Amino acid sequence: MARTPMKLILTQEVTGLGAPGDVVDVAPGYGRNYLIPRGFAMRWTRGGEKQVAQIKRARAVREIRSLEEAQAAAGQLEKLTVRLKRKAGKNGRLFGSVGPADIASAVKESGGPDVDKRKILIADPIKIAGAHRAQIRLHPEVSAAIKIDVQAD
């Protein structure tokens, strides 16, 4: 039995799906149980079309201005090495882990630009002391790789 897709308007960027203001068709469960409750999307309506146009205009103005800013921030982040101290046990295994929120605050403390934790991509949370790398999406066209040095405390 085939289910009809649910039509939604994205209010935030969703990796692999689209950017704010995009109208997308998704599986009903994905939209109803994940996207709408978390505020990533809203149901599509005719009145919502006006909001789509407004969201897209605001995004276009921000992107034109922020593309240059994103490229400058990427250059700054590429040069930066972020250092974090965490309690660790034997063999450098951390008590807990280092996640995107920790990395975002450490970038700020290291003199880097403000980075949204939702834009930081790491494959898995960091659980071992040592050198690691993370990707930061600054703009749909610009991303930067940063070096993270986790030291055992």
Instruction: Give residue-wise pLDDT tens across range 131-151.
Output: 999 998 887 778 889 999 999
| Position 69, amino acid | E
For the segment 39-46, the average pLDDT, to the nearest whole number, is 88
Topology, domain 6-68: Ribosomal Protein L9; domain 1 (3.40.5)
C-alpha distances (whole Å) from 54 to each of 43, 60, 86, 126 are: 16, 10, 44, 39
Per-residue buried b or exposed e for 105-134, using 16+ beta carbons within 10 Å of the residue's own CB: ebbeeeebbebeeebbebeeebeebeebeb
Q: Are 26 and 35 in contact (CB under 8 A)?
A: yes
pLDDT tens profile 48-91: 777 777 777 777 666 656 777 888 888 888 888 889 998 988 88
Every domain of the chain with CATH number 3.40.5.10 lies at 6-68
Radius of gyration of the chain (CA): 19
* Fold annotation for 70-152: Ribosomal Protein L9; domain 2 (3.10.430)
Q: pTM (2 decimals)?
A: 0.62
CA 58 to chain centre: 19
